[in-house]
């Protein structure tokens, strides 16, 4: 019988990523929600900074879920959908799918072990926070 050996995100790593994201958000002067999901897309850790809009809660979680679901950053979805009418009509009807920036897969040793979602700034600020967070954790972070 063949068995898969999967890596997963630890509580310690999830908490560290939240702390790194908060630090970068403060540096940029934005109030965000930060979601970390495990390799199955289930919420592992979450933080809503004081003053972050309530709507950012669901968006951050959905960005992390979208990123882990296909193993690609959320901002890459737009380019895949914009010139493909069948996909453009079908994929946005998927609940939770986010096609703008701020969600990234968390990759370790070539395996997707989770996802991070940031919501509250502009898409560019959310992406900057997430990329900075992942780069500070894993200097081999894939540049998206």
53 with 83: CB under 8 angstroms?
A: no
pTM for the model: 0.91
Q: Write down the pLDDT at residue 141.
A: 63
What pLDDT score does 32 carry? 98
Cα(48)–Cα(110) distance, integer angstroms: 29
pLDDT of residue 61: 98
Spatial distance between the Cα atoms of 73 and 54, rounded to a whole number of angstroms: 23
Tokens of 91: 């994929």
In the sheet where 111-119 sits, what is the strand order? 43-48, 33-38, 111-119, 103-108
HEC profile for the chain? CCCCCCCCCCHHHHHHHHHHHHHHHHHHCCCCEEEEEECCCCEEEEEECCCCCCHHHHHHHHHHHHHHHHCCCCCHHHHHHHCCHHHHHHHHHCCCCCCCCCEEEEEECCEEEEEEEEECCCHHHHHHHHHHHHHHHCCCCCCC
Instruction: Give the pLDDT confidence score for residue 99 in this predicted structure.
Output: 87
List the structure tokens of 103: 């969600």
Other C-beta atoms closer than 10 Å to the C-beta of 104 total 31
- In 3D space, the residue among 64, 42, 52, 62 whose CA is nearest the CA of residue 22 turns out to be 52
Q: What is the pLDDT of residue 77?
A: 83
Q: What is the pLDDT along the chain (144 residues), one digit of tens a residue?
A: 788 888 899 999 999 999 999 999 999 999 999 999 999 999 999 999 999 999 999 999 999 999 999 999 999 988 877 777 777 676 667 788 888 999 999 999 889 999 999 999 999 999 999 999 999 887 666 666
């Amino acid at each position: 019988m063949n068995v898969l050996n999967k890596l997963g995100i630890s509580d310690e790593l999830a908490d560290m990523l939240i702390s790194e994201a908060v630090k970068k958000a403060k540096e940029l002067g934005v109030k965000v929600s930060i979601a970390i999901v495990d390799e199955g897309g289930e919420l592992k850790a979450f933080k809503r900074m004081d003053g972050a809009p309530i709507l950012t809660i669901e968006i951050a979680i959905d960005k992390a879920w979208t990123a882990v679901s296909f193993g690609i950053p959320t901002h890459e979805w737009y380019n895949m959908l914009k010139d493909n009418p069948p996909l453009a009509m079908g994929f946005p009807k998927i609940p939770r799918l986010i096609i703008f920036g701020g969600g990234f897969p968390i990759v370790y040793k070539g395996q997707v072990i989770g996802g991070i979602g940031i919501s509250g700034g502009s898409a560019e600020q959310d992406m900057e926070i997430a990329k900075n967070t992942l780069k500070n954790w894993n200097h081999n972070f894939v540049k998206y």
